[in-house]
């Protein structure tokens, strides 16, 4: 009997410890930014970009773009004793990290990169759609003005 109570207390204490040390969204984002930075540095080194001002500027732009994408696309699922983060790509959830006992474990750098590239691509497509919509609205206003002018001319006749 005493052994069961002790085991119950230990399990409860472990659950309380795990629940109180679940990392927040910022910790997940920081861990992913670190993984992305490592990936960008590896790719830059692989492609022969030195550690000069121009390559550092490019890396900074990539990192800032990733940070913006993470801020807008990253979702946290909290399961009390651990949490995960994910992004939606092509209508599917892609899990990017696991938070447990105060640590964040990021998954495959390639998957993370693909997820962020898809997010950036989606953002670019939205921008392009917005530009097309603006252009269509301008064209519609022009046609409307032209139609009004023609209606006025017809009334004068």
pLDDT by residue (tens digit) across 48-105? 666 665 566 666 776 677 677 677 777 888 888 999 888 776 677 778 888 999 888 8
Nearest-angstrom CA–CA distance, 126 and 129: 5
Q: Is 7 inside a domain boundary?
A: no
**Structural domain includes residue 57:** yes
pTM listed for this prediction: 0.55
Domain assignment present for residue 96? The answer is yes
> Looking at the domain assignment, is residue 4 inside a domain?
no
Assess if residue 126 is contained within a domain. Answer: yes
First-to-last alpha carbon distance for the chain, in angstroms, is 105
In a domain, 10, yes or no: no
Quick check: 18 pLDDT over 80?
yes
The whole domain housing 136 covers 20-156
Report the SS3 class of residue 52.
coil
Q: Please count the structural domains in the chain.
A: 1
Show the tokens assigned to 48: 């022969």
Residue 5 lies in a domain: no
The residue among 127, 75, 122 whose CA lies nearest residue 96 is 75
Three-state secondary structure string covering 113-147: HHHHHHHHHHHHHHHHHHHHHHHHHHHHHHHHHHH
**CB crowding 143-153: b at 16 or more within 10 Å, else e:** eeeeeeeeeee
- pLDDT at residue 14 is higher than 80: yes
Q: Is residue 1 part of a domain?
A: no
């Amino acid at each position: 009997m005493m052994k069961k109570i002790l085991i119950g207390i230990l399990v409860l204490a472990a659950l309380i410890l795990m629940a109180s040390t679940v990392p927040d969204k910022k910790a997940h984002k920081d861990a992913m930014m670190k993984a992305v930075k490592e990936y960008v540095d590896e790719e830059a080194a692989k492609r022969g970009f030195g550690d000069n001002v121009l390559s550092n500027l490019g890396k900074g732009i990539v990192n800032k773009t990733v940070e913006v994408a993470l801020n807008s696309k990253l979702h946290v699922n909290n399961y009390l004793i651990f949490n995960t983060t994910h992004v939606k790509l092509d209508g599917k959830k892609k899990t990017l990290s696991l938070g447990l006992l105060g640590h964040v474990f990021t998954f495959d750098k390639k998957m993370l990169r693909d997820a962020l590239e898809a997010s950036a691509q989606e953002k670019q497509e939205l921008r392009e759609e917005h530009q097309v919509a603006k252009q269509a609205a301008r064209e519609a206003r022009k046609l409307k003005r032209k139609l009004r002018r023609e209606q006025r001319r017809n009334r004068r006749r």
